[in-house]
A and B are shown apart, each in its own frame.
Chain A
Amino acid sequence: MSTDIGVWIGALLTLGIFSFLYRDNPVYKVCEAIFIGVSAGYWFVSLFWQNIQPKLYLNLRGAIETLVQGGGIDARWLYLISGVLGVMMLMRLVPKVGWISRWPLAFIVGTTAGLYMITYLQSNAINQVHDTLVPLVGRGSGRFLFFTLPFHVSWAALLVFIGTFTGLVYFFFSVEHTKLAGKTARIGILFLMVTFGASFGYTVMSRMSLLIGRMDFLVGNWLGLVH
């Protein structure tokens, strides 16, 4: 069994969180509150020492010193704009002047939208469409199950093509989903269901992995039963 106080605290907090699986209880509430408090505190301290202190405080102090020594105004004064925007954001804590926080928010929304306008279009639209437009025939396997075909066909590309086409038909609402359009859309639904199933499967796998990690910590690091 571990003699490390940190491991003990981690193990007891893990068990406290696990206790919720039996039923909601005060121990779980305490562990939950500790987790949220520690996380918030960690983020605050981390961002203070990574941002406010080195970027804002040190740069502005340097800029003021340069100005006092007669060196004039340099580029570091630009950090003042960020500082002012940050203070304006905090104004939302004061109801009477809360509207001021909309200005830095507008700045963030504007710059983010501008930044993403091109990159998202390029990476998640144009490049994705480009990767879907691949030759179906002429490459890949020349077989289907036990049969030899007179031409080569890429089954993966064919599947991607059918899935993309039928999926798009399902989301094409200008045509009523009856007859051929309805049948095609139905195939699209099947592809979507497989996609959701795969995502759900991956989510289960992910959650199980986290549980395995915690169990390994408990029986290995804490109890010392597994090496």
Chain B
Amino acid sequence: MSLLDRMLTLDRRWIFLVVAVAVTVPLFLHLEQKIEITQESRGVFEGLSGLPAGARVIMACDFDPGSAAEVQPMAIAFLKFALSHRLRVIIMGLWPQGPMQADLALRDALRDPAVAAVAPQYGIDYINLGFQSGNEVVIQRMGSDIPMVFPRDSRGQAIAEFPIMENVRNFDAVAYVFNLSAGYPGTVEWVQFAGDRFHARIGSGTTAVSAPLYYTYFPKQVTGVLGGMKGASEFEELTGFKGKGTRFMLSQSFAHIVMILFVVLGNIAFFASRRRKRAGETAA
């Protein structure tokens, strides 16, 4: 069997194995990849960094553990940056697992020395309002009455007891909404109902699959979009809080190189076999 025939009949499990190795080996390497910053990612950072201390920001966690590999690093970097810069963070979710993912991100963020230095307090500097069902209707109602939509926090305490929620009636009291989105409901709904209707400033952190859909909203309907793990690594670079997004980029690059090689080899094999077949037909 020639090399060409072997390439054409290669068992796909070999490809799986090579991809697995390409993804895993870089996890052991201590190399740092240079991260190029895109305008879309810079937009999220600039939307946040221009806010004064004490400004309220909403972190809307509309994702679940299935998309955490891409979105969780964004949540951690966002919380570290916001809390260390004394922004007041209101966490909520339209996905049931979203606020739980936020709790995990908070645990990581609060351990960071820069965040620990400002000693953020629950109820004063940040609060988790938990999950609320109703999808886009929740956002619609938040535009007129946030306490009505979230009468209690995720622990069951009335939000009126917390200083962070004082005088918070609608999006007018919120300087920025950072939506971590993995599908529906997500950034599309936040743009439609909070952004275009109530003029809330929105930034999006999303899975790579959804990113092309949300780029069309940049720069007027959203200040920026973090697309997938690359977006997470860019945001970590911009905020200075490097984490898994940055560390995983090496694996991502290795995997992409392997994929490109397989695509090129597959095409070479395809065209070569077609030429051989035509040559055989001509000879016959």
Contacts and interface: CB of A to CB of B under 8 A. Distances in A.
A124 B217 CA distance: 9
Contacts, number: 117
B33 interface: no
A45 to B, nearest CB: 9
A213 to B, nearest CB: 3
A161 to B, nearest CB: 15
Contacts of B196: 119, 122-123, 127
B69 interface: yes
B88 interface: no
A76 interface: no
Interface string A186-222: 0000000001001100111110111111111001100
Nearest to B259: A204
A81 interface: no
A204 B216 CA distance: 20
B81 interface: no
Nearest to A122: B196
Contacts of B191: 123
B237 interface: no
A91 B24 CA distance: 50
Given A43-B96, A50-B132, A209 B221 contact: no
Interface stretch (B114-122, B157-165, B249-257, B273-281): B249-257
A209 B96 contact: no
A131 interface: yes
A122 B136 CA distance: 15
Contact of B96 (A46, A123, A214, A226): A46
A199 B209 CA distance: 7
Contacts of A123: 188, 191-192, 195-196, 221
A212 B197 contact: no
Interface residues of B, number: 48
B236 interface: no
Contacts of B220: 127, 131
Interface string A131-167: 1000000000000000000000000000000000000
Nearest to A199: B212
Contact of B252 (A43, A131, A212): A212
A54 B137 CA distance: 18
B251 A215 contact: yes
Contacts of B70: 206, 209-210, 213
A225 interface: yes
B207 interface: yes
B229 A212 contact: yes
B13 A213 contact: no
Contacts of A116: 192
Interface string B169-210: 000000000000000000010011101110000000001110
B259 A21 contact: no
A46 B133 CA distance: 10
Given A21-B13, A50-B133, A215-B251, A208 B23 contact: yes
A75 to B, nearest CB: 12
A119 B27 contact: no
Nearest to B197: A119
Contact of B228 (A119, A122, A199, A202): A202
Contacts of B20: 211, 215
Given A116-B192, A205-B228, A205-B229, 6 more contacts: A42-B97, A50-B132, A119-B193, A123-B192, A127-B221, A212-B23
Interface of A: 21-22, 42-43, 46-47, 50-51, 115-116, 119-120, 122-124, 127-128, 131, 195, 198-199, 202-206, 208-216, 219-220, 225-226
12 contacts: A42-B96, A43-B96, A50-B131, A123-B188, A208-B19, A209-B207, A209-B208, A209-B248, A215-B20, A215-B27, A226-B27, A226-B28
